[in-house]
Structure 1
Amino acid sequence: MLPWLDAAGPSPALRLFCFAHAGGGAAAFRPWVTGERRTPVRVCPVRAPGRESRWEEPRLDRVADLAEDFLRAAAPLLSTPFALLGNSLGSLVAFEVARRLSDRGRPAPVHLLVGASPPPGVEARRIRLSGLSDAEFTGELQRRYGGIPDVILHDPDLLREYLPTLRSDVAAVESYRPPPQPPLGCPVTALVGVDDASVPADEVDGWREWTSGPFARHLLPGGHFTVLDHRDLVLDLLGSVRVR
């Protein structure tokens, strides 16, 4: 297990592995770890290559590679109950992790929660951003999703350092086309902000087709990153899950 997985310590009743949006890292879920509410769920933010303490590692621009990067580190932890939560790009990575576990006959997540994401393959059909100039790329990304911190957006040097990671993540989203495979068997819950112009609320209903288990959709106040503000809702959803 690698230290960037943030999952050290004795086994909890349930681990929640959290995968961030494009350009994001484990810090996006840090408030979930330090929250005051006591819970049997251990929140484990996942740090992908090319950011934070993994800044010097090669960036990955395929969802499959991001999923494998996680699985190599998490393998010793997946024999105890766990759930997967993603936001935007992170939703696709979490989904791909669940698919690969199923394909290999490994334990499945007790729940998959996908935030601010259309179903797999939808984003790949939209107008691509990866070929745009830096200025066009940054402007269009902000228009669609927002999320680039002002301290980076308004500092040319910081933005220049940040853009390669962001471009790799966006390329991963745009190229993701999962091959045919039987649907997952675990419950899937889609979380979407009512003000998220990039992900229409009814579009996330397409996630229903990717599981034979229960499906639910929750509309949340806010935009593309509103899931990050709803830790307690996620914990409540997981509190009703019967772990094996």
Structure 2
Amino acid sequence: MTVASAPAAAGGGRTLPAEHPGPWLRRYHDSPARAEATLVCLPHAGGSASFYFPWSQALSTRYEVIAVQYPGRQDRHREACAASIAELAEATAAEVAAAVPADRPLVLFGHSMGAVVGFETVRALERLAAAGPGTVRAPDLFLASGRRAPALSRDDGIHRLPDRALLDELKKLGGTDLRMLDDPELFQLVVPTIRADFAAVETYRPAPDARVGCPVVALIGDSDPRVSAEQGAAWRDHTAGDFALRVFPGGHFYLAEQQRDVLATVTAHIDALAAG
């Protein structure tokens, strides 16, 4: 991974070097100087920016791919976890507004908890763009993955489960390295972060009639135990723009099982921005 103190100048065939503009954002691969869009990816509860490393590897030849690193994990493990979705969203929006060029399409993708963080981040970026026209770009597209619509948010009590029951729930959802879950010492290291994330998302309640202005695409797995097609389709009530629902084979972490098809879908929707 390349780390540079300053981006390369735009123009010619040069690329913008991968860098970490502050603790919140990760660029794992160089992106084209004239990238077709910026794609910002938000991870699930207990997840980290590195979940999207394969996405960066696959898409950075065309787009600037940025992954969000929440506090309380990996290189930010000494920091306190955020207490709420609002806290995560406001901080993410401020970092994205400061680091992302305003002259190209901006797309956000969030999975599971990342979907509600992404939704509130889009709303925060829209407010910033309205307050400072031309300096901050309002997102052009939001992709909400593996999460019921915000209006259907509820407290499932996962963050209050005893360790053994919490472990069983994580295994049921998949997406977490089983070697980590089955190692008692490792599990005890990560369980506070997992609980904090679940507490943030389970206590999240959107503002009445909360909507974004950009189009929304909801993506779900057809055997996800936590999100039905009806619950995914309810995202249409949270946008003033176009809406689409995409259903893939698989469970809660269908996007790992169907990575090629998911990336093709994401790319098609981003490319449609330019065509539109």
Normalising by structure 2, report the TM-score. Answer: 0.80
| Residues in 2 aligned to 1:74 and 1:167: alpha-carbon distance in whole angstroms | 26
Structure 2 residue 145 is matched with structure 1 residue 122: no
Q: Which has the higher contact order (CA 8 A, sep 6+)?
A: 1
| Residues in 1 aligned to 2:52 and 2:92: alpha-carbon distance in whole angstroms | 16
Normalising by structure 1, report the TM-score. Answer: 0.90
Show the 5 A alignment for 1:7-156: 7=27, 10=33, 12-35=35-58, 39-76=61-98, 77=100, 79-80=102-103, 81-104=105-128, 105=130, 107-124=137-154, 126-143=155-172, 145-156=173-184
Structure 2 CA distance for partners of 1:182 and 1:78, relative to 1, 3 Å: farther
Structure 2 CA distance for partners of 1:149 and 1:38, relative to 1, 3 Å: closer
**Greater than 3 Å deviation, 4+ residue runs:** 7-11
Q: 2:211 aligns with which of 168, 179, 183?
A: 183
The structure with the larger Rg is 2
* Structure 2: 5+ residue stretches without partners: 1-20, 131-135
| Residues in 2 aligned to 1:237 and 1:243: alpha-carbon distance in whole angstroms | 10
How far the C-alpha of 1:40 sits from its partner, in A, is 2.4
Aligned residues of 2:42 and 2:111 also touching (Cα < 8 A): yes
| Residues in 1 aligned to 2:48 and 2:87: alpha-carbon distance in whole angstroms | 16
* Structure 1: 5+ residue stretches without partners: none
Show the 5 A alignment for 1:162-181: 162-180=190-208
How far the C-alpha of 1:41 sits from its partner, in A, is 1.7
| Residues in 1 aligned to 2:212 and 2:143: alpha-carbon distance in whole angstroms | 13
How far the C-alpha of 1:11 sits from its partner, in A, is 6.0
Size of the alignment, in residue pairs?
241
How far the C-alpha of 1:68 sits from its partner, in A, is 1.9
Over the aligned positions, Cα root-mean-square deviation in angstroms equals 2.1
Aligned residues of 2:119 and 2:212 also touching (Cα < 8 A): no
User: 1:197-233: CA deviations, max 9, x gaps?
Assistant: 2111121111001111000000111111122422222
